[in-house]
Amino acid sequence: MEHGTTVVRDKMSEPGPAKVSTRERILEAATDLFYAQGLRSVSADKIIERVGITKVTFYRHFRTKDDLVVAYLERQAERERADVAAILARAGGDANEAIRLFAETIGTVSCTPGFRGCPFINAAAEYADQDHPVRRTVAAHRHWFRAVLEEMITPLHPTEPAGIADQLVLLRDGAMVSGYLGDPATVSRSLYRAARAVISSHM
């Protein structure tokens, strides 16, 4: 009997699945809809309907739709930073390996079914005002990404790491578009070779 009681007590004390907050549910729905359909084409009402909440509840968490767009982009930025950190960890300080892994990852991601381009480039295309909070969020993330690339190639001792980083960002942007038309291996290989060529020209 005591053993059975212990089992029941243990099961009752086990934590159940974490309850997803309303804010998180809104953000999850927005992430799916924004990326698939575009930022301006998705209304707040469409998100409210998807989540199954009232307008009052929605605006309690996000004062405006633009606030939600910024939160969506910040979430995307967090995910990309985690992905980049994982790549750098795998490379183990080897700059050439890091470049190869970057190219491989971008090739794979850009050729994945459902891929609709870089969410930050997409956002910039929809928000022309560079002083808008959305554009500032995009600019902050791209500044971070460029800085990561510059830091990554510095151990190779190129003559102009800042200029190379700018060119690598352009190559990455192009590869994201090429993913619509190519296959992962081709995109990855082409990006890696182009990156190596740019770096070698500054050695």
Place of tokens 């969020």: 137
Residue 18 confidence (pLDDT): 57
- Specify the fold of 65-203: Tetracycline Repressor; domain 2 (1.10.357)
pTM exceeds 0.95: no
Query: What is the fold, at CATH topology level, of the domain defined by 1-63?
Result: Arc Repressor Mutant, subunit A (1.10.10)
Contact 173, 141 (CB under 8 A): no
- Residue 184, pLDDT score: 79
Residues of the chain with CATH 1.10.357.10: 65-203
Q: Long-range CB contacts (< 8 A, 24+ apart) of 141-150? A: 141/73, 141/76, 141/77, 141/80, 142/169, 144/77, 144/81, 145/80, 145/84, 145/169, 148/84
- Cβ contacts of 172 within 8 Å, gap of 6 or more: 102, 106, 191
Residues 75-85 as b or e (16 or more Cβ within 10 Å = b): bbbeebeeebe
Q: Do residues 47 and 33 make contact, with C-beta atoms less than 8 angstroms apart?
A: yes
What does pLDDT average to in each consecutive run of 10 residues of the chain (203 residues)? 38 53 96 95 96 96 96 96 94 92 88 87 95 97 96 90 93 84 80 89 81
